[in-house]
Amino acid sequence: MADYTIPLTAEDQTFSVSLGGTKYQLTVRWNDADEGGWVLDIGLPDNGGDILTGIPLVTGCDLLAPFDYLGINGGLVVYADGSDLPPTVANLGDGVDLVFITSGAA
């Protein structure tokens, strides 16, 4: 089992990362609305198009499980220190981490 913590900060951000041997562009943004929160978009690098958009960053599940057909070869899990609550506007990357877990280990 291998995992990789994707470094995040409590601000909107876009960056490239390799997941399961494929390069992706991730965008994390705060949705400031009732029932809002942090959401994740996954796209192809160099503005190559969106693959998934608006995935809520919630704890306790593999965020990619419903999308196995995409072949990303792993899972994305949000871990919060001692809590199963979703990340707040201020604690993303500081006690709340986004972790990529290789296929079969999520």
- Per residue in 43-82, pLDDT (tens digit) is 998 888 999 999 999 998 999 999 999 989 899 999 998 7
pLDDT surpasses 90 at 28: yes
d(CA 69, CA 8): 26
- Per residue in 84-95, pLDDT (tens digit) is 888 999 999 999
Look up the pTM and report it. 0.89
d(CA 71, CA 22): 10
Write down the residue that tokens 């900060």 correspond to: 9
Residue 67 identity (one-letter amino acid): F
59 strand-pairing partners: 78
Phi, psi at 71, each rounded to 5°: 70, 35
